[in-house]
Amino acid sequence: MENRELVLLAKEAMEKAYAPYSKFKVGAALLAKNGEVFLGCNVENASYGATICAERTAITKAISEGVKEFQKIAIVASSGDYAAPCGICRQVLYEFLPDGEVILDSDHEGMKVMSLKELLPMGFRGEDIK
Ligand code: THU
């Protein structure tokens, strides 16, 4: 699937965001190796701390459906600027697509493709636990 198409799906997912506190809506579209796409949005909570980011919503949906291998993820935000994933999401994405790509989109500057390894240098993985 083309990056442009995945960004459009992330924008659709963003419309479903539950973000009454920050008003910052985020959408993610995660492409699995089998071609399936899992969408996610941020789901905020009055406690703030229980908020779930869009990227982790998408990953959790996929894993809970038995899909574990992914190619890439597109992430967009309602600000129209690049939506750099937070540190926790980088770590979670690194668990499941360490060799994958992250596609970001800006209304002004267009698409930017980054590898997870660029976003999380020297990232920690299960195989490091010895
Ligand atoms: N957010 C995401 O969904 N993904 C990120 O990687 C960064 C932050 C959400 C969480 C919260 O609902 C809002 O953006 C503001 O932090």
Entry pTM: 0.96
Tell me which residue has its CA closest to atom 9 in ligand 1: 53
pLDDT number for residue 127: 86
Q: Does ligand 1 lie within 6 Å of residue 105's CB atom?
A: no
pLDDT of residue 38: 98
Q: Is the beta carbon of 73 within 6 A of some atom in ligand 1?
A: no
Q: Which residues of the chain have pLDDT under 70?
A: none
Pairing of strands 37-41, 26-32: antiparallel
Query: Among the options 5, 15, 36, 55, which is catalytic?
Result: 55
The closest residue, in CA terms, to atom 1 on ligand 1 is: 53
Residue-wise pLDDT for 34-71, tens only, equals: 999 999 999 999 999 999 999 999 999 999 999 999 99
- The verdict on whether 55 is a catalytic residue reads yes
Q: Are 42 and 26 in contact (CB under 8 A)?
A: yes
